[in-house]
């Protein structure tokens, strides 16, 4: 993988990780456009550069994170309550992820799944936005603050997050909709989605780093991983700052139209022969990394 390819992957990861558009779906398409092929190592790389996006949210929400640490020592009741709710929200995905991770990556990481989930997610957003808009602006954006989220509500958001294991669905979308459905305000739902992402994405990053880290370093080297992570961090800071302001002013509808447009483009590409179904095998440890991952010669 070249430095240019790792930069592009980092930009796509950072910009889309916390938007309700599915970073996984965008990375699958980007991998195809860059002709990187498909392997467990590349999938692990895509997960590991999430570390940059995690650092972005960690920095932007450092006050909330500090409250949770204070809650551990009994100095902040709100921080302790938030930490418990985040753990409850994380548990469903943790259990199902361990059970079905390999199955999902083998059978669902393909262009048809992404196209369908992009379209379905777009329709859900538009229908939900239309319904909430009829109730008035206060009903659309108003609701409970994060401090009033119940443990049962947090667990419900966690089960909503499990739906996003299907690529193209978007973890951010499902957790935001989950938060809104249990009565949180738009601002609180967005914040809980980001904070839950710290735990969920952090666990996924560590899991793949342990499982595929050695192979990833041998085949790609450190440089692409570091570059991709740093670029993902920078682009995620920009993306998160923009999205918080945008959602609190305009809501989710724009992302519904975006997802439908992306699904339409994907359908056109599929009709033209786009396919990820043929999975490349990871190269043997002594095989040069560039030969295994570089695009095939057009000739």
Per-residue model confidence (pLDDT) at position 171: 93
The token pair at 58 is: 């960690």
| DSSP-derived secondary structure for 242-276 | HHHHHHHHH-SHHHHHHHHHHHHHHHHHHHTT---
**Domain positions in the chain:** 3-293
Q: Which residues of 239-276 are buried (b: 16+ CB within 10 A; e: fewer)?
A: bbeebbeebeeebbbebbebbbebbeebbebeeeebeb
Among 47-56, 133-142, 208-217, name the most confident range: 47-56
**Average pLDDT, whole number, for the chain?**
86
Q: What CA–CA distance (Å, rounded) separates 56 from 262?
A: 26
- DSSP β-bridge partners for residue 175: none
Per-residue model confidence (pLDDT) at position 276: 55
| Residues 153-198: tens digit of each pLDDT | 999 999 999 999 998 999 999 999 999 999 999 999 999 999 999 9
Q: How many CA atoms does the CB half-sphere of 249 hold within 13 Å? A: 5
Per-residue model confidence (pLDDT) at position 219: 81
Contact 234, 14 (CB under 8 A): yes
pLDDT above 70: percentage of residues in the chain: 90
| Residues 4-28: tens digit of each pLDDT | 999 999 999 999 999 999 988 898 8
């Amino acid at each position: 993988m070249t430095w240019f390819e790792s930069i592009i992957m980092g930009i796509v990861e950072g910009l889309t990780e916390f938007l309700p558009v599915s970073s996984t779906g965008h990375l699958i398409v980007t991998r195809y456009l860059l002709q990187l092929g498909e392997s467990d190592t590349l999938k692990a790389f895509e997960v590991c550069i999430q570390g940059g996006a995690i650092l972005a949210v960690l920095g932007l929400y450092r006050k909330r994170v500090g409250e949770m640490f204070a809650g551990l020592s009994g100095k902040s009741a709100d921080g302790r309550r938030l930490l418990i709710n985040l753990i409850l929200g994380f548990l469903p995905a943790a259990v199902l992820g361990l059970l079905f991770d390999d199955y999902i990556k083998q059978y669902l990481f393909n262009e048809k799944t992404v196209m369908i989930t992009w379209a379905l997610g777009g329709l859900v957003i538009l229908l939900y936005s239309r319904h909430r808009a009829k109730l008035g602006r206060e009903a659309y954006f108003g609701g409970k603050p994060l401090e009033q989220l119940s443990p049962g509500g947090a667990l419900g958001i966690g089960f909503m997050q499990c739906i996003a294991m299907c690529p193209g669905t978007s973890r951010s979308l499902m957790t935001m909709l989950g938060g809104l459905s249990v009565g949180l305000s738009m601002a609180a739902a967005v914040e809980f989605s980001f904070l839950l992402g710290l735990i969920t994405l952090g666990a996924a990053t560590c899991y793949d780093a342990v499982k595929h880290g050695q192979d990833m370093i041998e085949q790609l080297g450190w440089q692409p991983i570091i570059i991709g992570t740093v670029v993902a961090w920078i682009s995620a800071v920009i993306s998160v700052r923009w999205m918080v302001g945008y959602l609190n002013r305009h809501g989710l509808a724009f992302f519904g139209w975006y997802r439908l447009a992306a699904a339409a483009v994907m359908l056109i590409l599929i009709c033209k022969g786009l396919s990820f179904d043929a999975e490349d095998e990871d190269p043997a440890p002594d095989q040069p990394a560039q030969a295994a991952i570089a695009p095939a010669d057009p000739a």
